[in-house]
Amino acid sequence: MRNVRLIIVLAVVYIDMLGIGLAYPILPKLIEHFEHGNITHASYMFGFLASGFALMQFLFAPLIGAVSDRFGRRPVILLSLSGAGVAYMLMAAAPGLAYLAAARLVAGAMGGSFSTAGAYIADITPPEKRAQSFGLIGAAFGFGFITGPVAGGLLGAIDLHLPFLIAGCLCFANLTFAYFALPESLSVENHKPFSFRHANPVGALREVGRFPSVYGLMSVLVLAMFANRVAELTWVLYTGYRFHWGPTEIGISLAFVGVIFVVGQGWFTRILIPRLGERRSIVIGLSVSIVVSVLYGSVTQGWMLYCVMPMAIAGWTVAQPAVQGLMSRAVPPNEQGLLQGAVASMTSLTSIVGPPIWTGLFGYFVSPSAPIIIPGAAFYVSASIFFVALIVAIIWEAGTPQPVLVAPPREA
């Protein structure tokens, strides 16, 4: 029964990611179209739109997590899919940048399916296997990225609005599938009373801070997620500028990244993490990520990226589920939604300031005002952030005992 539910929730994540993947290679191009071809202005606007999306996630993720702890995971996932479908339809109809920005804000506010899926996985998976199960979420995420960007690139070559229309239809199809096939994972006895005091970013972070190990692991996760977003936010801009790639080439490269995710989190994590343990996997993954970021910024030909990408299989691709698995083991069943909401909120907080930084670094170092043209500058800064995360992880690993599963408090 657990395996059936696992397959169903992974299917929901995959279809959701497929919709995102369809739109991903096109959004920067659509902004560039609205900015009349000015790539520097488009870079800045793309960063600000990404920050607005993250701000809405930062504000709403703890609320969504608290609601899922009170009412269950299933209704939250259905609500999130509905909101995403509406947002994509608004993007498909966007006549200008302001309309597009409003749709992105709606998508950010309703974007709770991934964090709630993480809580769902924690509900149905034994503590010692959660790192591998979180890896499967990453694999479903990556598989959506294999198929989505390729189709998005091809559809975007026909019309820049078309991928958003298809993504909206997929979200509504996913909603229908989840409504009939996805059972509830949170048992009635593990429902937790809703509290507005905890349903906000500050309150959620303070609440999960009651559990040992969480703050240190949260710091590693936030730093690494911040650094890892450089490729997500600048890939289209970077490859288009440096290698003159169009939507088709970009879509194919993103599909290859998806293959890395599928192999890394769907297979490699299930071999490496049980043998090395979560702690060593985190240290190794962060170390590899430093090297990968430097190489991404240093390659001089587009084909060289395909030589660097496979290295990422042992990078943050492995370290991320290890961090998530350790955190979930430190929190009781009736607060997994709170934890996932706090994690989503904190990573979104870095995304608020991150996109203008990453896209701004790229835009500045390819502009005439830069003292020297360095297209890979953002990747070099990313490597330094991964290095800071590695130091924090080493300090945490040396001074923190193994986290143990915390049982939910007994009622008086």
- Asked whether the predicted pLDDT for residue 409 surpasses 70, the reply is no
- pLDDT for residue 249: 86
Task: Quick: pLDDT tens for 216-272.
Answer: 888 899 999 999 989 888 888 899 899 998 878 887 887 788 788 778 877 888 888
- Rounded Cα distance, 130 and 121, in Å: 8
Q: Is the pLDDT of residue 410 over 50?
A: no
Residues 98, 104, 105: CA angle, nearest 5 degrees = 95
Residues 173 and 179: their CA atoms lie apart, in Å, by 10
pLDDT at 290: 97
Instruction: Match 């034994």 to its residue by tokens.
Output: 126
Q: What percent of the chain has pLDDT over 70?
A: 92
The dihedral formed by the CA atoms of 407, 408, 411 and 412, expressed in degrees to the nearest 10: 50
Is residue 317 a contact partner of residue 263, using CB atoms and an 8 Å limit? no
Q: What is residue 42's predicted lDDT score, i.e. its pLDDT?
A: 80
Distance between CA 173 and CA 319 in Å, rounded?
A: 33
- Say whether pLDDT at 411 is over 50: no
Percentage of the chain beyond pLDDT 90 is: 16
Q: Which residue has the higher pLDDT, 398 or 175?
A: 175
> pLDDT tens for residues 164-205?
888 888 889 888 888 888 888 887 777 777 767 666 777 777
Stronger pLDDT, 325 or 111, i.e. the higher one: 325
What is the rounded average pLDDT for all residues in the chain? 82
Taking residues 101-108, what's their average pLDDT?
Answer: 83
The domains of the chain, with CATH numbers, are 2-183+205-399 (1.20.1250.20)
Which residues contact residue 25 at a Cβ distance below 8 angstroms, ignoring those fewer than 6 apart? 149, 152, 153, 156, 236, 247, 250, 251, 254
Average pLDDT over residues 350-375: 86
The most confident of 44-53, 103-112, 160-169, 302-311, by mean pLDDT: 302-311
Type of residue at 380? Y
pLDDT at 127 over 90: no
What pLDDT is stored for residue 406 in this prediction?
47
Query: Taking residues 338-348, what's their average pLDDT?
Result: 78
21 or 162: which leads in pLDDT:
162
pLDDT at 266: 75
Q: What's the mean pLDDT in 348-372? A: 84
